[in-house]
Structure 1
Amino acid sequence: MKEEKHKQTFVEGIAILGITGFLSKLLGAIYRIPFQNIAGDLGLAVYNKVYPLYSMVLILATAGFPVAISKIVAEHLAQQNHSGARQVLKVSIYLLSFSGLFVFLFLFFGSHTIAKLMGNPELDLAIKSVSFALLIVPIMAAIRGYFQGHQNMVPTAYSQMIEQLVRVITILVLAYLFMNNPQYGVYYAGAGATFGAFTGAVAGFIVLNIYWRKMNQQNNMNQMEFNLEDWESVWQIVRKILYYSLPVAIGSLIYPLFGIVDSFTISNLLQLMGLSLKKAENLFGVYTRAQPLIQFATFFAPSFSLALVPAISESIVRNHHKNVSEYIGTAIRFTILIGLPASVGLATLAQPINIFFYKDDAGSLSLAILAFTVMFSALAIISTGILNGLGRVFLPAKYLLIAVLVKLVLNTALIPIFGIHGAAFSTVFAYAFAALLNLLAIRNDYDHGIYLQFLLKIIISVFIMAIFVFFTRWSVIALLGNYLNSLRIIMAVVTFISILFGIISYFFGLLFTGAITKSELYYLPKYGPKIVYIIEKLHLLKFLKD
């Protein structure tokens, strides 16, 4: 009975983690839009220059630790060694507290130097503001890992959701207060936004503490007591944690480095071209308008990648290599099926979406270029998951590091010629390069399922979609222009109607070209059988191959 209850809690926890994870990503993707409306492109630039730096040092301090801690704790619990599991938590808290304190001191006292290197000394306050989160977030990582080791995902799920919610509220409230007070202004608004990382962390820590106290009461533990005879060597625990967490940390570190490259190069290079600091920072803010849109468009990729790792690993252990090839082929095909139309659709609707979200069309061309990051970054993430599942955990990290260097070289070469459009192109090319290297590495061991015939079918379907979206866009603009005075409302309607027609036309394009099979549709998670049923009712099943 107790085991059944434990299994039920675990399944419920996974479901809650999925739901809250999606909501957190949704909040994380859209809050920049009202923030830009409040603080303008300069405020957005301040925030987006500093936050990748925080993400990078946070990864250095914590990335991979929850996974590593959960694995080690689970091993102890499987042996009924509860005191050993608690000892892992205690060592983890000390280890992560030290690493968090170290990077806090680095950011807080080095903020002025870092701001100058970024080309804007006024970023000093924003860097100091975000540094305080590093005193709490690492401890939260240790506690989350401990709960996950107990196969209890609920505390992690709820704490992440509350953390994100409080962070977003802090960002918007402080930005509004500072922008409406003449004594402060845009740089204080940016600092207030980065301070949201600290208030969110405090809220998340409170939630975790509530669950921690509840666990102690259920297990009759008033405090963390340890039997010295059951203690492992502290050094052994540290080595084990570092061994498991290092590959995850390296892989996670690369993506914020793309943002770091932009933070340190775009504004500096624009100023070398003769632009003023304010103009350069405004252009950087315009450039970063694309971030929430791309982040949301690729929300499927990390979850898909996480699901691939255990599936591929299990098939390899069981010597089911045919299953491995099928997993790899299906994952890559569906990534292209979703990523390519998302990229083309976003590029086609770049101007309407830009006006709808940000009031004007500044940077629409760079947004259209960056739209193709959706497909290539999704492919890079999925192929990284595949390589991790194959046990080649350091290979994608190496390739992504090479891609970061490519991004740096291209930024330096292209920004002086093309401005922010050059930075956009370098981002797309760098992600495409990383994805290509990953796919070539996969191809050495397994068939990745990308064939010319399949690609042609997808391209034809996307071309059909683009035509429908293009004509829908201009038809709706022509129609509503006679009745509505607000350009922003017109573009909102254009965006939603064009997306709807784009999805429908693309789906029919896939059916008619035979780019997707009945079995692939049927085995889509949750909704596959329902989609096949609807197609059957519409008498379109004849277009689907088995």
Structure 2
Amino acid sequence: MKKLAIKGASVLALAGFLSKILAALYRFPYQNLVGDQGFYAFQQVYPFYAIITTLSLIALPNFLSSLIHSSNQPKEETHQFFQLSLILSVLSFVVLTLLSQPIAKLMGQEKLAGPFVMAILPLLLVPFLSLYRGRAQAKQDMVTTAVSQVIEQSIRVVLIICAALMFTRLSTNVYTISFLAMLGSFIGGLVALVYLMFFSPFKLQGLFTNFTALQPKGKIIQKFGLSSLVFTFFMVYMLILQMIDVFFVKNALMHLPQIKTSNQAEILKGIYDRGQPFLQLGLVFTTSILTDSLPKLTRAKQISKKIWDNVTYLAIALTVGLVILLPEMNDVLFKSHAHVLSLQIFVCQIPIISMIQLYHHDLFLVGKNKMSGLILLSGLVLKLVSVYPLTVLYGLNGAALSSLISLLLVLIFYSLYSRKLPRQLFNFHFWFAILMMGAVVILGNHILTISERWLALFKLTILSGLGAATFFKVFNVSPREFLN
């Protein structure tokens, strides 16, 4: 049974890895097709959709799975879980739909009301997706959840790109395209649900009996507990930071002297949003190392030194490489050199987030959930109070700094509370390898001057390979050993 659970967790981790790669990569062609303002219109509502998806993919299925394992009446509590999640999902959807216009105004653009409603439409799928995935995980059937995740993401990406292609032919309204892109996301979830219903023996009959009974539903809420709440909070933490940007960055940019119209501010916010796919790609690898190790960590009750080393070293190496090559990557992938410094500041979040993940999981394993939640909350408070003034003062650089400073505070608090300094930062051999890697990449970039866009992409691939090879050689470790 343990071997089956570990194998299932690995399958789920692989599906998550593939889904995250897809989620990062589609943004590059999408931005090329719809432009910076079109990218802005999509990214403004994306965090709402992403939080909903996280609930139906990870948080609620995990909770239901643990509820089934620990319950004396698993069938009854499964029914109550479904009913409660259905009530809350429908109620949230109705309230948010009624408030869509005021929310769009707070974002700085009333035309975002339509895309916003479409972004929250997957709320109606949450009870059903969570139910099927949670029941499958309770039976150690991670493959079903993994396949549904890949199906959902693949169909979503295809339909989003189709919506972007329509922009080049049928419509010039970026908000209509954002609406259609979010519709594609909903359809992806709907197809995943059809797959789960078809391949699951579980039927929905009987789930609506005693629907008005409040006492059992209250017990389900109590069982959710602090640990589940902090776990969910951490899963959506980066998305909440994005959501804060949604409400503050564009409005703050309107105060810059060079910004005369709302369209100009939206284009500028769209440029800032280019940092998200770079950030996601950087985090995919470090997050996957930790995710793949979670079954072993649960038994060991601590994160091993090797995982700390691998995640920290890899995150810093990836970030240094990204910072050096970002001007070229920005030009190749987005046909623009604009505001590259803000993107370089933005991707510096990668090692900080990676180390925060390590600290958070370390505290989670020993049950220090309350303190972990408070530390994470302190970062959100700093982000809330700093993003607007920093953006008004320093533009996109200030917006990127607000996230970086907030996450740095969280990292400092975690390290102080855990009394565990990231000793990897004091490894001279590592920094020498980073220095040599940087020198090779900078020198290669200077020697290989290519103006053709597709040849420049090939050049970036060569430089990335040379940089990685130099780092691993000087650091005296093989890539396979580093990632295992």
TM-score by length of 2: 0.91
Structure 2 residue 246 is the aligned partner of structure 1 residue 260: no
**Relative to structure 2, which stretch is displaced further, 42-51 or 366-375?**
366-375
- The residue aligned with 1:29 is 24
- The residue aligned with 2:175 is 187
The 1:100–1:348 alpha-carbon spacing in structure 2 relative to 1, beyond 3 Å, is same
Aligned with residue 358 of structure 2, among 382, 387, 397: 382
- 1:509-545 deviations in whole A, cap 9, x for unaligned? 212xxxx6x9x985852xxxxxxxxxxxxxxxxxxxx
Aligned with residue 473 of structure 1, among 416, 422, 445: 445
Q: Deviation at 1:222?
A: 9.5
The 1:143–1:222 alpha-carbon spacing in structure 2 relative to 1, beyond 3 Å, is closer
- The residue aligned with 2:336 is 360
Q: Deviation at 1:165?
A: 0.9
Matches of 1:23 and 1:179, distance apart in 2: 28
**One-letter code of the match for 1:175?**
A
Runs of 5+ in structure 2 lacking a partner?
none
Runs of 5+ in structure 1 lacking a partner?
1-5, 317-323, 526-546
Q: Given that residues 328 and 386 in structure 1 are in contact (C-alpha distance below 8 angstroms), is that contact kept between their aligned partners in structure 2? A: no
- The residue aligned with 1:269 is 252
**One-letter code of the match for 1:474?**
H
Matches of 1:267 and 1:225, distance apart in 2: 44
- The residue aligned with 2:219 is 236
**Relative to structure 2, which stretch is displaced further, 35-44 or 58-67?**
58-67
The 1:226–1:407 alpha-carbon spacing in structure 2 relative to 1, beyond 3 Å, is closer
The 1:401–1:123 alpha-carbon spacing in structure 2 relative to 1, beyond 3 Å, is same
Structure 2 residue 188 is the aligned partner of structure 1 residue 200: yes
Q: Tell me, what secondary structure is at the counterpart of 2:141?
A: coil
Structure 2 residue 381 is the aligned partner of structure 1 residue 405: yes
Percent pairwise identity: 25
Q: Deviation at 1:56?
A: 4.1
- The residue aligned with 1:96 is 85
The 1:117–1:102 alpha-carbon spacing in structure 2 relative to 1, beyond 3 Å, is same
Matches of 1:378 and 1:489, distance apart in 2: 32
Q: Deviation at 1:378?
A: 1.0
- The residue aligned with 1:319 is none
The 1:94–1:233 alpha-carbon spacing in structure 2 relative to 1, beyond 3 Å, is closer
The 1:95–1:303 alpha-carbon spacing in structure 2 relative to 1, beyond 3 Å, is farther
Matches of 1:48 and 1:222, distance apart in 2: 35
**One-letter code of the match for 1:109?**
L
- The residue aligned with 1:250 is 233
The 1:70–1:137 alpha-carbon spacing in structure 2 relative to 1, beyond 3 Å, is same
The 1:466–1:71 alpha-carbon spacing in structure 2 relative to 1, beyond 3 Å, is same
- 1:227-274 deviations in whole A, cap 9, x for unaligned? 99xx99554344324566322222224221210111111110111225
The 1:243–1:392 alpha-carbon spacing in structure 2 relative to 1, beyond 3 Å, is closer
- 1:296-339 deviations in whole A, cap 9, x for unaligned? 111133344445655455335xxxxxxx4xx3433322222101
Alignment of 1:283-362 (within 5 A): 283-306=268-291, 311-316=296-301, 324=302, 327-362=303-338
**Relative to structure 2, which stretch is displaced further, 331-340 or 348-357?**
331-340
The 1:133–1:203 alpha-carbon spacing in structure 2 relative to 1, beyond 3 Å, is same
Structure 2 residue 93 is the aligned partner of structure 1 residue 121: no
Matches of 1:303 and 1:451, distance apart in 2: 19
- The residue aligned with 1:14 is 9
The 1:189–1:468 alpha-carbon spacing in structure 2 relative to 1, beyond 3 Å, is same
Q: Deviation at 1:468?
A: 0.5
**Relative to structure 2, which stretch is displaced further, 460-469 or 385-394?**
385-394
Matches of 1:475 and 1:452, distance apart in 2: 31
The 1:226–1:449 alpha-carbon spacing in structure 2 relative to 1, beyond 3 Å, is same
Structure 2 residue 430 is the aligned partner of structure 1 residue 458: yes
- 1:324-373 deviations in whole A, cap 9, x for unaligned? 4xx34333222221011111110100111112211222232212221211
Aligned with residue 348 of structure 2, among 360, 372, 376: 372
**One-letter code of the match for 2:447?**
S
Q: Given that residues 79 and 207 in structure 2 are in contact (C-alpha distance below 8 angstroms), is that contact kept between their aligned partners in structure 1? A: no
Q: Tell me, what secondary structure is at the counterpart of 1:439?
A: helix
The 1:267–1:238 alpha-carbon spacing in structure 2 relative to 1, beyond 3 Å, is closer
**One-letter code of the match for 2:436?**
I
**One-letter code of the match for 2:235?**
S
Alignment of 1:505-544 (within 5 A): 505-511=470-476, 525=484
Q: Deviation at 1:18?
A: 2.8
Aligned with residue 111 of structure 1, among 100, 103, 107: 100
The total of aligned residue pairs comes to 479
Q: Deviation at 1:474?
A: 1.4
Aligned with residue 197 of structure 2, among 209, 231, 256: 209
- The residue aligned with 1:538 is none
Structure 2 residue 458 is the aligned partner of structure 1 residue 493: yes
Q: Tell me, what secondary structure is at the counterpart of 1:349?
A: helix
- 1:457-510 deviations in whole A, cap 9, x for unaligned? 222211111110001111111xx45xxxx2x12321221111011001111221
The 1:365–1:152 alpha-carbon spacing in structure 2 relative to 1, beyond 3 Å, is same
Q: Given that residues 458 and 510 in structure 1 are in contact (C-alpha distance below 8 angstroms), is that contact kept between their aligned partners in structure 2? A: yes
Q: Tell me, what secondary structure is at the counterpart of 1:151?
A: coil
Aligned with residue 419 of structure 1, among 395, 401, 404: 395
- The residue aligned with 2:153 is 164
Structure 2 residue 468 is the aligned partner of structure 1 residue 503: yes
Structure 2 residue 413 is the aligned partner of structure 1 residue 440: no
Matches of 1:97 and 1:195, distance apart in 2: 21
TM-score by length of 1: 0.81
Q: Given that residues 347 and 368 in structure 1 are in contact (C-alpha distance below 8 angstroms), is that contact kept between their aligned partners in structure 2? A: yes
Matches of 1:8 and 1:426, distance apart in 2: 44
Matches of 1:429 and 1:314, distance apart in 2: 34
Matches of 2:349 and 2:470, distance apart in 1: 23
The 1:304–1:388 alpha-carbon spacing in structure 2 relative to 1, beyond 3 Å, is farther
Q: Deviation at 1:122?
A: 1.2
Matches of 2:192 and 2:204, distance apart in 1: 22
Q: Tell me, what secondary structure is at the counterpart of 1:273?
A: coil
**One-letter code of the match for 1:124?**
A
Q: Given that residues 13 and 291 in structure 2 are in contact (C-alpha distance below 8 angstroms), is that contact kept between their aligned partners in structure 1? A: no
Matches of 1:226 and 1:39, distance apart in 2: 44
Query: How large is the Cα RMSD of the aligned pairs?
Result: 2.9
Q: Deviation at 1:402?
A: 1.1
**One-letter code of the match for 1:315?**
A
Q: Which has the larger radius of gyration?
A: 1
- The residue aligned with 1:529 is none
- The residue aligned with 1:542 is none
Matches of 1:409 and 1:235, distance apart in 2: 35
Q: Deviation at 1:170?
A: 1.5
Q: Tell me, what secondary structure is at the counterpart of 1:432?
A: helix
Q: Deviation at 1:124?
A: 1.1
Q: Given that residues 61 and 100 in structure 1 are in contact (C-alpha distance below 8 angstroms), is that contact kept between their aligned partners in structure 2? A: no
Q: Given that residues 80 and 216 in structure 2 are in contact (C-alpha distance below 8 angstroms), is that contact kept between their aligned partners in structure 1? A: no
Matches of 1:129 and 1:252, distance apart in 2: 22
Q: Given that residues 26 and 296 in structure 1 are in contact (C-alpha distance below 8 angstroms), is that contact kept between their aligned partners in structure 2? A: yes
